[in-house]
Amino acid sequence: MFHLMRNAIKNPDQRFGAFFAPLTSGRVTIASSAVCSAKIKLAVAIRYSLSRRAFSVAANGPEVLLLDYPELLPSLRYKFQ
């Protein structure tokens, strides 16, 4: 039986492609799921940063919203273009 399967496709490149073809859809599904999950988590994090306050700029001053930090938005734009 193995002998018949091994010789069914003569070209080694085609045999290699036929071996890995069923795995391709699984890889694509995993990658697209990771992208969707990252988008959802980013949306949740941004919503949280709109209400979360941390650290004051001046001593005894009001705490600043996380999204108001000047360094945060440019780095988010750079990472998620």
pLDDT in tens, 9-21: 778 788 888 888 8
Tens of pLDDT along 33-55? Answer: 999 999 899 888 888 878 887 77
Please report whether residue 7 resides in a domain.
no
Whole-number pLDDT of residue 37 = 94
Residue 24 sits in which domain range?
A: 12-38
- 59 and 32 together in one domain: no
The answer to whether 18 and 9 have CB atoms below 8 angstroms apart is yes
- 80 and 58 together in one domain: yes
Query: Cα–Cα–Cα angle for 22, 28, 29, nearest 5°?
Result: 95
Whole-number pLDDT of residue 1 = 47
Question: How many domains does the chain divide into?
Answer: 2
